[in-house]
Amino acid sequence: MDSPPRARRRVAPSRRAFLSRTGSGLGSVALAHLLTVEGVLAPAQAASTNSSEANRPYHPPRAKAVIWLFMEGGPSHIDLFDPKPELERLAGQVTPPSFNLPVTSATGSHRMPLVASQRKWQQHGQGGLWVSDWYPYIAEHADDLAVIRSCWSNGVNHVGANRQMNTGSILAGRPSLGAWTTYGLGAANQELPAFVVLTDNKVVRGGPTNWGSGFLPASYQGTHFRRVGPPILDLQPPNNVTESQQHSRLELLRELNSIHADNWPAEDELEARIESYELAYRMQRAAPNAIDLDKESETTKRLYGLDEEVTRQFGTNCLLARRLVEHGVRFVEVYCGSGSGWDAHSGLEENHQKWCKVSDKPIAGLLRDLKSRGLLQDTLVVWGGEFGRTPFSDSNSLVETAEKYGRDHNPWGFTIWMAGGGIRGGRTIGSTDEIGFRAVDKPYHVHDIHATMLHMLGLNHLHVTYMHNGRAERPTVNGGVLMEEVLS
């Protein structure tokens, strides 16, 4: 019988041949990496927030940007968007056992009396959306709002709840949703941060962990604009420094940082710092124009409430958010009541009346302004806090008078709303029980909220992954389903 053709023989390679081929293969990998860095080859995955061409949506996006209006402290859904006639009927009574009230530090070891909302309610828009009299300006945009009444989370205190609403976990260490967005899509503008955070009043509970990059490279973290004075320090070089000198200084600094980075390759924070210096240089040209509110008309400023003391600070941040997304920033988070301003354990009437006045006109102005400029269809606006508030009185509040009562933290059922970005408004989605305590119809967890927000941006939350400690991590951990009613 003839021998099989030589090409079909399986000959075991020698050790020398194996090592030679392996070495060549590793060399090819290194060469491919160098060519990618030099821009000769297209990268398989962007390594920088500025590699916008390398980051593509998984499906056609409905929105290009997100403005997240974060009402820190926990606004009371049953006093704003979720009226409860049964709560009025049961007011003053202890919560019936049928509602299965959990005994935690947030609900007290004994049941407190139920407290009816003191608000006046009215239906608005063609969809008949219920909004209380605390938000008259926002009510004018009822047909733009999809109100999700059946949200729930796991955080019973502010730090953990803030963190979960931003990162998906009550524990520190995970990337924020803005960081995941930047990681998945890159930057749309090479001269501005892709993810910006605007705060007011005090320090946000949980601090930078709410907009950090977690185990993602540090370059994906949010850029926190200052509350007082110029949003970005040292944005403009001194008058006696020319552009050429500034560029030379940056080149020297980059060279020194690169030398150090070669000696310490595991420190991704240094790579982020190098990139931040380069971004800062580019921002010196672009950012002053983006954040210059003097370019806005007096009519626009009044629309946001910049002419009134009570609305000026938050209104300025909302107007700045519009300018940022207009200039290509993908993700802007705007805090209202930083430091848990909405946290009304007592005196809810006074507390919420204050923060509703602070936020009502600026938010309505933002929606109107985005729509008039044709930006609302491409911008997803999200309103909500870290949780809602209980239908029963807080154990620390006095209930003898309506002015003194307060409500406790309620992560078991609360409301957020979305507008723009392809959202069909003028409707409510899901519901809490008869007293507004627990999400019962279409309950949606924080992971579901995040999955839907990413979907609107063209990202599949199950496909956006990052290898960390041998595990493919996702923005929604191992959970998250799309809120189909929001998408339809």
Is the domain of 25 the same as that of 148? Answer: no
> How far is the C-alpha of 241 from the C-alpha of 230, rounded, in Å?
20
Task: Determine, yes or no, domain membership for 179.
Answer: yes
Band (56; pLDDT cuts 50, 70, 90):
confident
Residue 386 near residue 352 (C-beta atoms within 8 A): no
Name the least confident of 23-37, 119-133, 400-414.
23-37
What's the whole-number mean pLDDT along residues 81-102?
A: 90
Taking 80 as the threshold, does the pLDDT of residue 254 lie above it? no
For 124, list phi and psi in degrees, rounded to 5: -135, 150
Taking 80 as the threshold, does the pLDDT of residue 227 lie above it? no
Q: Where residue 206 sits, what CATH number does that domain have?
A: 3.40.720.10
**What sign for the dihedral angle of Cα 125, 128, 132, 138?**
negative
The pLDDT, as a whole number, for residue 271 is 67
Taking 60 as the threshold, does the pLDDT of residue 378 lie above it? yes
Task: Determine, yes or no, domain membership for 190.
Answer: yes
Task: Determine, yes or no, domain membership for 7.
Answer: no
The pLDDT, as a whole number, for residue 10 is 40
The pLDDT, as a whole number, for residue 51 is 38
**Residues 421-437 as b or e (16 or more Cβ within 10 Å = b):** bbbebbbbbbbbbbbbb
Band (52; pLDDT cuts 50, 70, 90):
very low
Band (110; pLDDT cuts 50, 70, 90):
very low
Band (325; pLDDT cuts 50, 70, 90):
very high
Residue 466 near residue 472 (C-beta atoms within 8 A): yes
Closest by CA position to 487, among listed 463, 459, 460, 453: 453
Taking 60 as the threshold, does the pLDDT of residue 2 lie above it? no
The pLDDT, as a whole number, for residue 398 is 52
Is the domain of 35 the same as that of 72? Answer: no
Cα→Cα distances 258→34, 265, 267, 273, Å: 15, 10, 11, 11
Closest by CA position to 468, among listed 175, 211, 193, 271: 175
Closest by CA position to 314, among listed 368, 275, 262, 365: 365
Is the domain of 458 the same as that of 392? Answer: yes
Is the domain of 419 the same as that of 315? Answer: yes
Is the domain of 361 the same as that of 416? Answer: yes
Is the domain of 116 the same as that of 39? Answer: no
Band (231; pLDDT cuts 50, 70, 90):
low
Band (40; pLDDT cuts 50, 70, 90):
very low
Q: Which residues contact 210 (CB under 8 A, 6 or more apart)?
A: 162, 163, 166, 167, 176, 197, 204
* Helix H or strand E segment including 287: helix 268-291
Write out pLDDT tens, residues 446-460. 999 999 999 999 999
The pLDDT, as a whole number, for residue 318 is 98
> How far is the C-alpha of 152 from the C-alpha of 439, rounded, in Å?
7
* Two structure tokens written together for 333: 């988070």
Name the least confident of 263-272, 448-457, 460-469.
263-272
Taking 50 as the threshold, does the pLDDT of residue 41 lie above it? no
Taking 80 as the threshold, does the pLDDT of residue 89 lie above it? yes
Is the domain of 189 the same as that of 224? Answer: yes
Q: What's the one-letter identity of residue 226?
A: R
Bridge-based pairing of strands 145-152 and 439-441 is unpaired
Is the domain of 29 the same as that of 70? Answer: no
* Two structure tokens written together for 426: 């003028």
Is the domain of 31 the same as that of 84? Answer: no
What's the whole-number mean pLDDT along residues 201-212?
A: 94
Taking 90 as the threshold, does the pLDDT of residue 330 lie above it? yes
* Two structure tokens written together for 167: 């990162």
What's the whole-number mean pLDDT along residues 37-63?
A: 54
Taking 90 as the threshold, does the pLDDT of residue 350 lie above it? yes
* Two structure tokens written together for 81: 């968007």
DSSP one-letter code for 95: P
Domain count, the chain: 2
Residue 248 near residue 237 (C-beta atoms within 8 A): no
What's the whole-number mean pLDDT along residues 58-63?
A: 92
Task: Determine, yes or no, domain membership for 416.
Answer: yes
Residue 44 near residue 53 (C-beta atoms within 8 A): no
Taking 90 as the threshold, does the pLDDT of residue 374 lie above it? yes
Q: Name residue 417's beta-bridge partners.
A: 147, 383
Task: Determine, yes or no, domain membership for 366.
Answer: yes
Q: What's the one-letter identity of residue 29?
A: V
Write out pLDDT tens, residues 276-314. 666 666 666 667 778 889 999 999 999 999 999 999 999
The pLDDT, as a whole number, for residue 235 is 60
Write out pLDDT tens, residues 159-172. 999 999 999 999 99
Task: Determine, yes or no, domain membership for 268.
Answer: no
> How far is the C-alpha of 81 from the C-alpha of 396, rounded, in Å?
25
Task: Determine, yes or no, domain membership for 78.
Answer: yes
Q: Name residue 381's beta-bridge partners.
A: 67, 419
Is the domain of 324 the same as that of 368? Answer: yes
Q: Mean pLDDT in the chain?
A: 84
What's the whole-number mean pLDDT along residues 358-363?
A: 98
Is the domain of 34 the same as that of 144? Answer: no
Write out pLDDT tens, residues 470-480. 999 999 998 99
What's the whole-number mean pLDDT along residues 188-213?
A: 92
The pLDDT, as a whole number, for residue 127 is 94
Taking 50 as the threshold, does the pLDDT of residue 4 lie above it? no
Q: What's the one-letter identity of residue 140?
A: E
Q: Is the pTM of this model over 0.95?
A: no
> How far is the C-alpha of 204 from the C-alpha of 418, rounded, in Å?
22
> How far is the C-alpha of 82 from the C-alpha of 75, rounded, in Å?
12
Bridge-based pairing of strands 444-445 and 145-152 is parallel
Write out pLDDT tens, residues 123-147. 999 999 999 999 999 999 999 999 9
* Two structure tokens written together for 323: 């300018």
Cα→Cα distances 309→51, 156, 353, Å: 41, 33, 15
What's the whole-number mean pLDDT along residues 396-410?
A: 72
**What sign for the dihedral angle of Cα 305, 306, 310, 314?**
positive
Q: Which domain holds residue 464?
A: 55-229+289-487
> What is the Cα gyration radius of the chain?
26
Is the domain of 37 the same as that of 101? Answer: no
Instruction: Tell me the percentage of the chain whose pLDDT exceeds 90.
Output: 64
Higher pLDDT, 191 or 412: 412
Closest by CA position to 291, among listed 322, 336, 270, 313: 322
Task: Determine, yes or no, domain membership for 124.
Answer: yes
